[in-house]
A and B are shown apart, each in its own frame.
Chain A
């Protein structure tokens, strides 16, 4: 089966006068439907790598192919559309819009397509809320929820357009260990139910051990690539 995401010879250098190379000639590809984790110490380049995978950042050199399309050559407008339809993001911070309710935040990826929200879409949003367990706070504004609820809402939002690829950067970084377990359980269930591909950054080895594949970065290079 075709790879969902392929990175070829990725280099990333920050700065123009004083150059700092963060990623060194990385080559990686990911199977559809897999649950992958990236671990590494802070400063190892994990987040930069994830941002490049998600087309939020561009590599200094190299090719990022998402579902066979080379994203490095795409226009900003096409990238925005690709992110909307095929990618889902979950960050350490929830980044919900405080001006909107939980329900509306989840609907945002559909609303920004300017197509109008059908009953079917609403039903799907409610279903997602049920899956992540926030149906009780669906009409709360983003700031009127607990940290766990906010992160669950962010996950539901990432899933709204049924993306093929979900990128998560320390999604439980701000949560306690019980909430962390619950969230990973949830991500795993979603992975199995929808067959979406997950690439999750974590610094928690215990969590990484529960994923299909563990990639460890050290100083911008792949130190370990473990397939279970």
Chain B
């Protein structure tokens, strides 16, 4: 208690110094909080736009678009045995062509269980015109294809493939996937329609999955692969998006680097100010030791100063960092008023930043504390 009280007194009596050092910690930690949250926000936005509306783990066959017959059983077994699955949707994907008037266009004709498919591809939310297919023979089409071919609701399309199979479907809606490639080539129907047009039995070509934690996609993929003993080909977004992944990793590393250097700067700042403070107060420490303060207590006086500075600086820094982040989302906005980077609150990260502030300041106090512990009272008394 004596050490704590003395630490507090020393900090209070050196007000200017204390305020400077607190400002240093607060600014450092606020930068750390802001940069951390900003980059996390950037990553979330990036991941969401790239793979948020896409299959993250796909169960397919060796052969491209090969048939899977017992798909219902597969879906059931995955649901039963694998944790961390968010959505699971069987799909029948059929590469095909359409001809309208004299034009022929290659397309990807995809049959979904529309309710489950919507969970991944958000057909309902992305529908810009018309309605979702309800009856057999009804399809919705990407807006890119609509514009290219000048389609309107109610148009009839003739679909055919290399095997010479063909069939007609009716356009009942247009959908905007926000990805040009999909908008230009996808034709969506329910499963029975897709199966019937090209004479398929009750089969699908793939089972598409979204997972709870996107970065666990490879692990979940492996788990599923094991579950079926390698009978199916299981792919995940990570192996198909190496560039995105290394981009994200690069961001992670640079974010950590920035945070580490900020913390190092804070630690050096505290250590140097406290080191000066030990020299300034060596007279006091010497006399306290002459009066019976032992080395441990003398050390604790400075450790407590570090701890107090860390606690106060951490509180200030976190508050400042959150304020800057809030102002950033308020003022750095797109023309439509939405923030440039959608930042979400990560309590764990903020608490971690606070803990780092406290641990860093306390450890920064270690060197001055050691000096204080080793100071011999006779040095002070002999030299006045």
Contact = CB atoms under 8 A, between A and B. Distances in A.
Interface of A: 47, 51, 54, 56-57, 76-77, 80-81, 83-85, 89, 91-93, 95, 97-100, 108-109, 111-114, 116, 157
Contact of A80 (B283, B294, B384): B294
B289 A57 contact: no
Given A51-B381, A92-B384, A112-B2, 16 more contacts: A56-B381, A57-B378, A76-B295, A77-B295, A80-B292, A80-B293, A81-B292, A95-B283, A99-B10, A99-B13, A108-B288, A112-B288, A112-B291, A112-B292, A112-B297, A114-B2
A99 B291 contact: no
B127 to A, nearest CB: 72
Nearest to A76: B295
B77 interface: no
Given A51-B378, A95-B287, A84 B292 contact: yes
B287 A47 contact: no
Given A47-B382, A108-B288, A111-B2, A100 B294 contact: no
A83 B290 CA distance: 7
A76 B299 CA distance: 14
B136 to A, nearest CB: 86
Given A85-B292, A112-B291, A100 B9 contact: yes
A153 to B, nearest CB: 13
Contact of A56 (B9, B10, B12, B377): B377
B294 A81 contact: yes
Contact of B381 (A91, A99, A111): A91
Nearest to A157: B291
Nearest to A104: B9
A54 to B, nearest CB: 7
Determine the interface band of chain B, counting residues with CB < 8 A from chain A. 20 to 34
Contacts of A108: 288, 291
A84 B377 CA distance: 13
Contacts, number: 73
For the complex of A and B, 8 pairs with smallest distance between CB atoms = A84-B292, A80-B294, A95-B287, A99-B9, A99-B13, A56-B378, A57-B378, A112-B2
Contacts of B380: 95
16 contacts: A56-B377, A56-B381, A57-B378, A57-B382, A76-B294, A80-B293, A80-B295, A84-B291, A92-B384, A95-B290, A95-B380, A98-B284, A99-B12, A108-B288, A111-B5, A112-B293
Nearest to A92: B384
Interface in B275-321: 283-284, 286-297
Contacts of A77: 294-296
Interface of B: 1-2, 5-6, 9-10, 12-13, 283-284, 286-297, 376-378, 380-382, 384
Contacts of B382: 47, 51, 57
A83 B291 contact: yes
Contacts of B381: 51, 56, 91
A85 B294 CA distance: 13
Nearest to A167: B290
A157 B288 CA distance: 11
A109 B292 contact: yes
B195 to A, nearest CB: 83
A168 B384 CA distance: 14
A100 B291 CA distance: 15
Nearest to B293: A112
Between B10, B377, B382, the greatest number of chain A beta carbons within 10 A of the residue's beta carbon is seen for B377
Contacts of A51: 378, 381-382
A103 B296 CA distance: 25
Contacts of B293: 80, 84, 112
Contacts of B384: 92-93
A109 B291 contact: yes
Nearest to B294: A80
Contacts of A93: 384
A111 B293 CA distance: 10
A89 B2 contact: no
Contact of B288 (A54, A57, A97): A97
A83 B292 contact: yes
A72 B286 CA distance: 20
A112 B298 CA distance: 10
A98 B12 CA distance: 12
A45 B6 CA distance: 34
A83 B293 CA distance: 9
A54 B290 CA distance: 9
A99 B288 CA distance: 13
Contacts of B292: 80-81, 83-85, 109, 112-113
A20 to B, nearest CB: 14
A113 B10 CA distance: 19
A95 B380 CA distance: 10
Contacts of A83: 290-292
Contact of B284 (A47, A84, A97, A157): A97
A111 B283 CA distance: 19
A149 B376 CA distance: 27
Contacts of A92: 384
A95 B378 CA distance: 13
Nearest to B296: A77
A89 B288 contact: no
A76 B382 CA distance: 19
Contacts of A80: 289, 292-295
B2 A99 contact: no
A195 B378 CA distance: 27
